[in-house]
Structure 1
Amino acid sequence: MIPRQAPAPAPAAGRLLSKQVLAWASWDWGSAAINAVMTTFVFTVYLASPLFGDTDSNSAALGSALAVAGVAIALFAPVTGQRSDAGGRRRFWLGVNTVLVALATAACFFVYPEPRFLLLGVTLIAAASVFAEFATVNYNAMLPQISTPATIGKVSGFGWGMGYLGGIIALAVVLFGFVQPLADWPGASTEDSLNLRLVAVFSAVWFLAFGLPVLFAVPEVPRRVDTSKLGFAESYRILWRHVRSIARTAPHTLYFLVAAAVFRDGLAAVFTFGGIIAAGTFGFSTSQVIVFAIAGNVVAALGSIIGGFLDDRIGPKAVIVGALSGLLAAGTGVFLSPDARGFWVFGLLLCLFVGPAQSSARAYVARLAEPGREGEIFGLYATTGRAVSFLAPALFSLAILLAAPHVSEGGAQRYGILGILVVLLAGLLLLLPVHRPSHGPRKPHGPGPA
């Protein structure tokens, strides 16, 4: 059992790389094995491959499973965040959900390369995404604990950058240990795709190993309410009262949550379907996808860190608007690219802009959060995101289905890019009228704890 600690004092102003920040960012580093290896560049590419049947149908099945996962997250994320805040269990639930993600990921070892295992594969990926989002709610809620108003953008950007750099190392291990092994060993066998199934086990172990430090370095939050005596129905009533209070006193908080819900769904789709498009549309092999992923993560890490410094200087809204504009231009370039060379150029530009948009969106919410209710606001952040998380997967799948009768076999997947771009554009348009958040100390804007 992790010992309960007294809340730590606020970080010293201007100090960026404290012990707590490094431990916190280690979780981002570890989660890269799930985000980069499992859901973006390796395992979802494996599931969408001809080993499981028609590639267009496999892609649509994956999108549908992730849409169902989004519904589950939308229903439960804000209440789980609220209860972890009130019950002083933020760190505890971060640990529990981290373990559940690792277990679902490790179970992907049993997804053999046969069409009858496709359902198991997409279900496990969807389950891992649910638990990962619950963990992320509590992880993000720790951001104000380890930063100051002057450093919150940099710390958020540093965390995203560490995540991308962790992805580089994890992908390199996968490439040279499992896909194109530097040494002959049993785990690199391609019989029954053993090497790709073992990648799932590796990812689970990697996530656990690097996800542990934050559980010891960042203290638990104080308990305000005995949540064991608070039913879920009452939790939803408290949540609704708080949302109504925010709507009266800080409506632009809700406006931002709605805008972010839309554009973050587009950002998630860039990662989820990027490797699939590289393989299915541009003919990348698994090893080529991984090489591109490594290069893309280098670019994304630089973008996140630079975006974090810009965030603290010009504000998160300006960073997000610039990043979304860049994503629309780069995504159009990917769609129009006739060959793999175009994908390399515009795909790397996509990577450059995705990180700053994600990092500044997190810093934006952290600036809006009331002290002591960070988990709840990040739960709302997750819920509003997942409430529309069907958008990008659904439009990706719909665009493929609509294009399929009019293009040659296997050529419809390219049109899924247009579905993602529509979502990013809608998010940008919704964000433009939203007021910028304050750079000063966070203040309560709703009723006190129940």
Structure 2
Amino acid sequence: MPERRAPVLSEAKADQGARMSEISARKRIWGWWFFDWASQPYHTLLVTFIFGPFFATVATKYFLGAGLDEQAAKASAQSLWAWNMGLAGLIIGFGAPIMGALADTRGRRIPWIMGFSVMYVIGAAGLWFIALDGSNLYWMLGLFTLGFVGAEYALIFINSQLPELGTEDEVGEISGSGFAFGYFGGLLALIIVLVVFAEMGGGKTIAGLAPGLGLLDSDQMEGTRATGPLTALWYAVFMIPYFRWVHEPLVNKARGTVSQAMGALKASIANLKHRQSLLYFLISSMLYRDALNGLYAFGGIYANLVLGWSVPQIGIFGIVGATSAVFFSWIGGKLDKRFGPKPVIIAAIWVLIAVAVIIINMSREAFFGMPLPEGSSLPDNVLMFAGAMFGGMGGILQAASRTLMVRHTDPASPTESFGLYGLSGRATAFVAPILIGVATTLSGSARLGVSPVILLFVLGLVLLRWVNAKGDSETWEGAS
């Protein structure tokens, strides 16, 4: 039997090698970028601008029906979303490095990406079934978490492929352009939803059309509910270029076991004491990425609960933020290539801190304690500007962070390295939502509830001081 199997494996390698040689390096980069394009709508449509605020509206009505006053009902709705995002963060954070190590011991990443893609599609599609009376809120949170975990786990394996796409000087621009392309995909998806599907006043879309061109029932909010299935369909279609153009060579690695993966992970964590720059970067990015995810998760909800924006208004807010993200991510990639990722990260964090301070000190009635005349448009204009900055600086921050991680990545185990990066980004991902939930509960204010993100940004900024801008390749080369 072994004599018969060897030629088959050799032929398979030869066939796959031929296919890989036919795919240019540029096309492979485009295929890798298409993951960002395909997956971004989960964050743009479901987390931030459409489903998240819609869920908050449904949950608020549910809690009002349970006897809470309006302020308490809004705070309870935000707290419920916060606790669920915290739970999702725990699942992602503690599973990410284990799966990364397991993938490295087995030598393949594509099968894992396929599996997590299935989770993404099922979770997103299931959101169609949200009940307007809030009777199945917890089931919907479960489906949302399933898709969100799938998206984040897949991203770990996608990120681990970045070092293979170019040289150290090139990956910054590749990373930034990938985020820009992804944000453009999210922007296009958001525009389609607002124009064709999401209901506003009178049961029409922002373009005055009947939801789904008349095929959906506006009384049942089917246009807004369709955002989930549309996100799933978008992902399924636009992942095709990735799977066609991004191939991995067949390897002779034996199937690694969970215990082997855990052993490799344990060794990597133990080795962090010899890699001080990586250790400080992981902790720093853990804090500032947690703060950024908190802003993304609650930006639309803040607009809904504090300023009373409708879902279509929040959609416009999303268009502004996503457009800014496209432009600034591309610019950030150019700046990354010119100056390196660390100074780009520092500048983006400072801008995010300043903007967070502004929105926390703003309400419909006052701006930094100064009363506003009734009907003032200042809060709306300021929040729209804040959305542009959150989108733009967030895109820069994520792209440059991915580049700085490449500079700290051991090429012998890239998925495991990015698993640690995923752990740092998600191990405490429950902190921002939980702190927001606690602050919202204690203050009874959705506005003051988002204030903990400032502290997380500041702590992350302080720890960056001990991160080597050029990475720590000398350390892992010596360790290996």
2: CA distance between counterparts of 1:35 and 1:445?
39
| Contact map agreement 1:246 1:445 (CA 8 A) in 2 | no
SS of residue matched to 1:237: helix
Q: Offset at 1:8?
A: 5.4
Q: Secondary structure at 2:169's aligned position in 1?
A: coil
Equivalent pair of 1:86/1:223 in contact (CA under 8 Å): no
Deviation at 1:439, TM superposition (A): 10
Uncovered stretches (5+) of structure 2, i.e. residues with no partner: 1-11, 64-72, 199-204, 368-378
Q: Deviation string for 1:231-255 (max 9, x for gaps)?
A: 323321221112223432x221121
Specify which of 318, 324, 327 is matched with residue 299 of structure 1: 324
Matched, 1:336 2:361: yes
Query: Among residues 226, 243, 250, which one is paired with 1:215 in the alignment?
Result: 243
Distance 1:119 1:331, change over 3 A: same
Instruction: Give how far 1:176 is off.
Output: 0.8
What is the deviation of 1:187? 4.1
Mapping for residues 277-296 of structure 1, pairs under 5 Å: 277-296=302-321
Q: CA deviation at 1:382?
A: 0.8
Q: 1:277–1:187: structure 2 CA closer, same or farther, 3 Å change rule?
A: farther
TM-score, structure 2 as length reference: 0.85
Pair 289,402 (structure 1): closer, same or farther in 2 beyond 3 Å = same
Take 2:474 and 2:395, find their aligned partners in 1: how far apart are those partners? 25
- Counterpart position of 1:416: 449
Q: Which amino acid aligns with 2:233?
A: V
Indicate the percent of aligned positions where both proteins have the same amino acid: 27
The answer for the alignment partner of 2:233 in structure 1 is 205
Q: Which has the larger radius of gyration?
A: 2
Cα gap change, 1:437 to 1:8, in 2 (>3 Å): farther
Letter in 2 for 1:220: E
2:427 to 372, 383, 387: 387
Q: Which amino acid aligns with 1:284?
A: W
Shift of 1:192: 2.4
Alignment partner of 2:27 out of 11, 16, 19: 19
How many residue pairs match? The answer is 430
Q: Distance in 2 between matches of 1:142 and 1:182?
A: 44
| Structure 1: segments with no counterpart, 5+ residues | 405-411
Aligned: 1:84 with 2:103: yes
Deviations 1:163-194 (A, max 9, x none): 11111100011001112165433444222221
Rounded Cα–Cα distance in structure 1 between residues aligned with 2:124 and 2:478: 39
Q: 1:435 is matched with which residue? A: 468
Q: Deviations over 1:331-389 (max 9, x none)?
A: 11112234212211233222221111110111111121111311101111111222111
Q: Distance in 2 between matches of 1:446 and 1:190?
A: 62
* Deviations 1:279-312 (CA, angstroms, capped at 9, x unpaired): 1111211111001101111111111111111112
RMSD: 2.2
The residue matched to 1:219 in structure 2 has which SS?
Answer: coil
1:365 aligned residue (401, 405, 428): 405
Q: Counterparts of 1:92-241 in structure 2 under 5 Å?
A: 92-179=111-198, 180=205, 183-184=209-210, 185-223=213-251, 225-227=253-255, 230-241=256-267
SS of equivalent to 1:173? helix
CA gap of 1:438–1:68, structure 2 versus 1, over 3 A, is closer
1:320 and 1:8 map into 2 onto residues whose CA distance is 35
Partners of 2:102 and 2:257 within 8 A in 1:
no
**Corresponding residue for 1:409?**
none
- The one of 259, 262, 271 equivalent to 1:245 is 271
Distance 2:303 2:166 in 1: 38
Cα gap change, 1:319 to 1:373, in 2 (>3 Å) = same
Q: Name the counterpart of 1:426.
A: 459
Code of the aligned partner of 2:452: G
Structure 1 length-normalised TM: 0.90
Does structure 1 retain, via aligned residues, the 8 Å contact 2:130–2:136? yes
SS in 2 for 1:151: helix
Give distance in 2, aligned partners of 1:442 and 1:278: 46
